[in-house]
Amino acid sequence: MNQASINANNSVVHLDDDDFETLVIQSEKPVLVDFWAEWCQPCHMIAPTVEALAEEFGDRIRVAKVDVDANPMATHKYGIRGIPALLLFKDGQVVEQMVGVRPKAEIARIIDSNL
């Protein structure tokens, strides 16, 4: 398994196909996964929102990013066809899926309703 890398503020975990099972499916707390790509402008637009949510929810949830170009297995398994795609996992299952840029308040409400 590869080591998941964590950004400077230690809030968002960058996953790859090898880490996905352990850090998302087997997680004891809900996980918000941002499927994104470097070339995707909307992905860059939502990135600060994703980081802010990671800080806001602290250790109540895990927030992760998956680069769709580098991780085809997870991308294919969850049927990601449009990005950014935010999937909220709880007990190893997808409980919410949002595609496109969404307001922070909307995403926070969805996370809160699943805590």
Task: Tell me the catalytic residues.
Answer: 40, 43
Q: What 3-state class would DSSP assign to 88?
A: strand
**Concatenated DSSP letters of 10-68:** S-EEEE-HHHHIIIIIT-SS-EEEEEE-TT-HHHHHHHHHHHHHHHHHGGGSEEEEEET
- Residue 61: both structure tokens together: 């949830």
